[in-house]
Structure 1
Amino acid sequence: MSQEITVSKEDYLKAIIEAESEGHTVIAALLAQWLEVSAPAVTKAVKRLREDGYIEAGREGALKLTTKGREAAHRTALRHHLVERMLSEMFGMEWHQIHTEAERLEHAISPAFEAKLIEKLGEAGDCPHGNKVLPETPAQIKRRGLVALSEATENTDYVVASLYERDSGLLEFLHELGIGPKVAVRVQRRNYDNTMQIKTPNGSVTLGQSAAIRVWVRPSAGSGAADEPRRRKKT
């Protein structure tokens, strides 16, 4: 199946499972915004996907993946996951650059190369952003013991465990602030304007709610996590 489906179709199907994980009702207008394409282009693509048996339209134009469509979307998501891990674990590429690169390369992975990557890396590991193969809902992420940084308790030590990776601008922004995977952070203060003062290895930074809700953290295993940035800075 992965050899027969086009790059464009793969993008649409993967976008649907990503949007579903965020709680959206997937309609054509949402896909146009999600994929940054024109409304006529989406209408044409949706028609083809329905004719090929990948999606079906429900009430008020809501789009749902068929079994065939979901299998194809999962296969693309797996290839994206494997490419991200390959770029990080085998080539040492920076975490904040990997998602965009994987978006380009995921369509070029042949079944034979995919099998080799699975043999080398396995299918179950987290990606460099701390995410599973398939997009997770907030409820699923919370069941892993994580909490959104926007909801983290003040003056408590946390470690960044998962980042929303679809927004490359967000990843670059967080990187510049010193907030990234496995980084120790502490919420120092919640400000009147809905921003937060966060202690990081780079010092104290200000983070807005729109970014904080997309950073997931877990309580630090040790009591001295808040002091860890100072120790790192001295070395």
Structure 2
Amino acid sequence: MKPTPTSSSVEDYVKVIYAFTEWQDKPITSTQLATRLGVANSSVSEMVRKLKDQGLVDHQPYSAVRLTAEGQSLALSMVRRHRLLETYLVQELGYSWDEVHDEAELLEHAVSDTFIERMDAKLGRPSRDPHGDPIPAADGSVTMPAAHRMSQLDPGHSGRITRISDHDPELLRYLDQQRIGLDAPIRVQGRKPFGGALVVRVGTGPAARDFDLTEEVSEALWVSPEGTHPGCTLTRTTLT
């Protein structure tokens, strides 16, 4: 359950802060928050002060914004809602993976905890959403896959696509058209000269295809080594 009644704006802020740091150690700045949320820097400054007053973030002037334990708990609750809703929209209602983000953003503030729990059971307790992001359990535990950005991998590295960023719907539509999706085998072949595209092979055997991936595309893909369990790093945070 969510810790205390909160506004949708507060819920959105803590969710964005958490999501930004989920796949990297670098904390988010106020400017990056403004960009992610599509609001003015002055609006972010005011909201961050409010979040700090409520004990949800730690923040000093000109420094990064970090969630407190209470803020982390609220963020995990909202992330759970959002990703379960995305999964339900794709699996049960036939939405495509580039359509679900905005729909889930609207629904996550309106549905009850009981609805979320019953939807989780209906879906069979999924561990990840349609983009490969882990779905926090009801107790706040999160199983993160061991994965690296495709752009950081050396030639010869192979594995399976574990996560695809949902930040850009157009990119998701492009990947869908190219039949590049979760769990697809992928191998780094090399890189074109002078900072050119990353050359990768998707698939195996006669069905394998080579692609030249721009930096934008390779930055959006995460790859787990072959034979790695999809969730080998466990982070546990208890929701209150």
Which amino acid in the other structure matches residue 68 of structure 1? E
Which structure 2 residue ranges, 5 or more long, are not aligned? 137-141, 228-240
CA distance in 2, matches of 1:163, 1:177: 14
Which amino acid in the other structure matches residue 48 of structure 1? K
> Which of 85, 92, 95 is matched with 1:93 structurally?
95
Which amino acid in the other structure matches residue 53 of structure 2? E
Do structure 1's residue 208 and structure 2's residue 208 form an aligned pair? Answer: no
Matches within 5 A, 1:1-235: 1=2, 4-21=5-22, 22-58=24-60, 60-121=62-123, 123=125, 125-133=127-135, 144-152=145-153, 154=155, 158-192=159-193, 193-200=195-202, 203-218=209-224
CA distance in 2, matches of 1:61, 1:150: 28
Q: Contact 2:154/2:190 (CA < 8 Å) preserved in 1? A: no
The SS at the match of 2:66 is strand
Q: Contact 1:178/1:202 (CA < 8 Å) preserved in 2? A: no
In percent, how many aligned pairs have the same letter? 27
The SS at the match of 1:83 is helix
C-alpha displacement at 1:95, in angstroms? 2.4
CA distance in 2, matches of 1:146, 1:26: 21
Which amino acid in the other structure matches residue 206 of structure 1? D
Which amino acid in the other structure matches residue 174 of structure 2? F
* Higher RCO structure, 1 or 2 (CA under 8 Å, sep 6+): 2
Which amino acid in the other structure matches residue 213 of structure 1? E
CA distance in 2, matches of 1:26, 1:182: 29
Q: Contact 2:3/2:73 (CA < 8 Å) preserved in 1? A: no
CA distance in 2, matches of 1:80, 1:19: 15
Q: 1:144 to 1:44 in 2, by over 3 A?
A: closer
Which amino acid in the other structure matches residue 176 of structure 1? Q
The SS at the match of 1:198 is strand
Which structure 1 residue ranges, 5 or more long, are not aligned? 135-139, 222-235
The SS at the match of 1:159 is strand
CA distance in 2, matches of 1:53, 1:113: 28
CA distance in 1, matches of 2:157, 2:53: 53
Q: Contact 1:177/1:202 (CA < 8 Å) preserved in 2? A: no
CA distance in 2, matches of 1:64, 1:156: 34
Q: Contact 1:197/1:206 (CA < 8 Å) preserved in 2? A: yes
The SS at the match of 1:95 is coil
TM-score where L is the length of structure 2: 0.74
Q: 1:45 to 1:145 in 2, by over 3 A?
A: closer
CA distance in 2, matches of 1:56, 1:151: 31
TM-score where L is the length of structure 1: 0.76
Q: Which residue of 1 aligns with 2:232?
A: none
CA distance in 2, matches of 1:214, 1:65: 24
Which amino acid in the other structure matches residue 106 of structure 1? E
CA distance in 2, matches of 1:153, 1:65: 34
CA distance in 2, matches of 1:56, 1:154: 40
Q: Whose helix fraction is larger, Structure 1's or Structure 2's?
A: 1
Deviation string, structure 1 residues 46-105 (Cα, Å, up to 9, x no partner): 222222222232464432222222211111000011112111222232223333332332
CA distance in 2, matches of 1:2, 1:31: 23
